[in-house]
């Protein structure tokens, strides 16, 4: 005994898996397709207003968000001013941009204090 299953025990084809037959003349081989989405949370369209918001307008952060955010460089608290979050650390003072209501807390994107 060589450790193999008898021929045809699992659909045939030997060690390479099931044997595949050639497609019928004039037909393309069948391809597996994913079923169409049925409408979950990932497939819903987000409704937005028809008029786009002008760039640079203020979009306030959520109430509790500012309380839990900290400067990634020195871990001091942040203060909201115009379209930026300013670090309150005495030695740091980096200004992080807020784009479309999302704080960009990347040190490389921050503006150095003047």
Residue ranges covered by each domain of the chain: 65-109
pLDDT at 44 over 60: no
pLDDT, the chain, mean: 74
Tokens of 24: 């019928």
Supply the CATH classification number for the domain 65-109. 2.20.25.10
Q: Helix, strand or coil for residue 96?
A: strand
User: Which tens digits make up the pLDDT trace of 62-81?
Assistant: 768 888 999 999 999 999 98
Predicted pLDDT at 113: 81
| Residues sharing a CB contact under 8 Å with residue 39, sequence separation 6 or more, in sequence order | none
Model confidence band, residue 100 (pLDDT cutoffs 50, 70, 90): confident
CA distance 62 to 94: 21
pLDDT at 13 over 70: no
């Amino acid at each position: 005994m060589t450790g193999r299953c008898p021929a045809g025990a699992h659909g045939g084809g030997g060690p390479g898996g099931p044997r595949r037959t050639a497609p019928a003349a004039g037909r393309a081989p069948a391809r597996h397709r994913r079923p169409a989405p049925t409408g979950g949370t990932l497939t819903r369209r987000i409704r937005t207003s028809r008029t786009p918001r002008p760039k640079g307008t203020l979009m306030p952060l959520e109430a509790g968000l500012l309380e839990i955010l900290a400067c990634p460089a020195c871990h001091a608290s942040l203060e909201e001013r115009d379209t930026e979050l300013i670090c309150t650390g005495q030695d740091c003072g980096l200004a992080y941009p807020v784009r479309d209501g999302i704080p960009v807390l990347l040190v490389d994107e921050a503006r150095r204090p003047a």
